Chain A
Amino acid sequence: MAQTAESLQPTKRKSHALPYWVEPTFTVVALGLFGLYTLWLVFFQSSGQFHNYLSPFFSPTESWGIKVLPAIWVLWSPLLFRATCYYYRKEIYRGFFHDPVSCAVPESRKYYFGETRFPFSWTNLHRWFWYVAVIVLVFLWIDAVQAFIFNGHFGIGLGSIIMLINVGLLTAYTFSCHAFRHLIGGGSQKFSCSDGRPTTRYKWWNRVSAWNEHHGTYAWISMFFVWFTDVYIRLLMNGVIHDVRFF
C-alpha cells in the first residue's frame, strides 16, 4: 500500500472529557476484582445461604447429582454469558487487549485476527449462553420470591428488597441483550403484515431496541449488584451485620 501520513494521538477535547485511559483502566480494575472475588467464592466458599436468602452465586442449589464445586455449578453459565456479551467484549478488547485501548490511539501489537479464530470466534455462541442465562434467571426469581417468605409467612427484610432489585437488574440486562434483540425480531426482514399493520415481532423488537440502548449500563449495574447481594448475605451469614426487618 502507498504511504499513509503519520497521525497524532487524539488530544482531550472538552475540558470535562476524561483522559482516554480512564475507561479501560476502570474496566480492568472492575472486572479484575470481580474475577478475583469469584475465584475466592469458587475455591473457598461452599455455600451462600442465610435462612431464606440465597446468594445469586449459589443458585440453584439443586445440582441433580452433578458433582462439582457448588459455585462452579452455577457460575460457568453467567460468566460465559457475560464474557461473550457484545458490550463486555468491547470493554474487554479495549481494557485487556488494547485492541484499541481507545479510539485513534495507536496499537503496539501488529498481530490481529479479530473474532475470526478460536477462542474469539466462539463469541458467536453468545445466544446459546443467553438461553442458559434465562433458565438461571427463572431460579433467581424463585429465590427472590422466597426471600419474602420468612418461616412460611410473608415478610419484608432489607435482604428481600436487595434480592428483588438484583433479579430485576439481571432481567433488564438479559432482556436488553443484542442476541435477544435479533432473535425476537431483528432477524426478520419484514415488519408489516399484509394488511399493513405491524407484526408482533416488530413490536417486540422495537421495545427490546429501546432497552438495548441501556445495555451497557445494565451490564455494569447488574454486575455490581450481584456482587453487593453476595457480600450482604455473606455478612449476615457471618453475623457481622443483622438484617433489617420492615415487617
Chain B
Amino acid sequence: MPDEITLSVYRGDKSGGQEVEYKVPIQTGMVVLDALHFIQAHDAPDLAVRWNCKAAHCGSCSAEINGSPKLLCKTRVDDYVGEVIHIRPMHSFPVIKDLVTDVSWNYEKLRQVPAFQPAIKAPFTLQQRDVDRIQEFRNCIECFLCQNICHVLRDHDAKDRYWGPRLMIRIAELEMHPLDTGDRLDLLKGAAGVGMCNITKCCTVVCPQGIDITDNGIIPLKERVADVYWDPLGGLVRKLHK
C-alpha cells in the first residue's frame, strides 16, 4: 500500500467553487472523514465538513465520493488505493460551504406529515411481529443520501411534486403502525407525490442502513394508493368486510 493518498475536495459556497487537491498519509483503517480531519489539522483549517458520531449513526457526514453518495465516516480510504478520491457535497441540496449542504427542506417536509394517531392511549403492548415491518424504517439515520440520489430530486429538482424516499418511509412507518388511525393516502397521492417515484431503486442501493426502501416501503404505499384510487372492487370488498 502506498504511504499517501490524494484527496480532491470541493471548496466553495453557494456562489460556486472547485476541487482542491491535498495529500494525506494513509493509516490503517482510515476512513475518508479521518483524511478530511487530517486536512483540517494540517492544510486547511477552514474546510467545512459536517459530522458528529464518526460511527455511521448520526447521518451528518453525507457526501459524494467519486460520484457515489456515501457516508464519509463509513468509507474506507484503502478502497481507493491507486485513485484520486474526489469528494463533493450532495448534489441535490444547496451548498452552504465546502462539503456542507442545506438539508432543511427534508425537515420541513417531515413536519408536514400528520403525526402518529394511536387508537388507544399509551402505554400499550404490541406483538413484535406487528412492528417488525416498521422497525426496519425506524433504522433510518436521516442521512438523506436516498434523497440525494433520487433522480426525481437530483435531476428534475421536483421538490414541489415529490417529497422523496426518506419521506415515503416515514409515511410508511406511520401507515403500517398497527395502532395508527391516521389516513395519509390523499397526502401521499397528492402533495407528497408517490406517483413521481418510478421504482428504479437507487434509494435502496445507497441507503447505509440497508433499508429496503423501494420494495418494503414505496411499493406497498403505491399499492395502498391503488386500493383506494384504482380498485373499486377491492374497495367494495373492504367496505363489506368492515
Contact = CB atoms under 8 A, between A and B. Distances in A.
Interface in B110-165: 127, 129-130, 149, 151-152, 154-159, 161-162
Interface residues on A, range: 35 or more
Interface in B1-19: 10, 12, 14-17
Contacts of B178: 189-192
Contact of A179 (B94, B175, B223): B223
A93 B198 contact: yes
B166 to A, nearest CB: 16
Given A2-B102, A106-B155, A114-B197, A189 B180 contact: yes
Main secondary structure of the interface of B (DSSP, over half): mixed
A10 B66 CA distance: 6
Contact of A5 (B88, B205, B215): B88
A9 B2 CA distance: 26
A1 B15 contact: no
A92 B79 CA distance: 32
Interface in A76-112: 86, 89-90, 93-94, 99-100, 103-104, 106-107, 110, 112
Contacts of B66: 8, 10-11, 13
B196 A115 contact: yes
A51 interface: no
Contacts of B177: 189
B224 A99 contact: no
Contact of A103 (B16, B93, B149): B149
Interface string A4-35: 11111111010000000000000000000000
Nearest to A110: B156
A207 interface: no
B30 interface: no
B68 interface: yes
Contacts of B215: 178, 212-213
A192 B178 CA distance: 9
B86 interface: yes
Contacts of A112: 152, 155-156, 158, 196
B231 A115 contact: no
A187 B228 CA distance: 12
A155 interface: no
A183 B27 CA distance: 53
B16 to A, nearest CB: 7
Which 10 A-B pairs give the minimum distances between C-beta atoms?
A2-B94, A10-B67, A103-B202, A114-B196, A182-B223, A7-B91, A116-B195, A8-B67, A192-B127, A124-B230
13 contacts: A3-B14, A8-B66, A8-B67, A86-B219, A90-B201, A94-B200, A103-B206, A107-B155, A112-B156, A124-B226, A127-B223, A179-B223, A189-B176
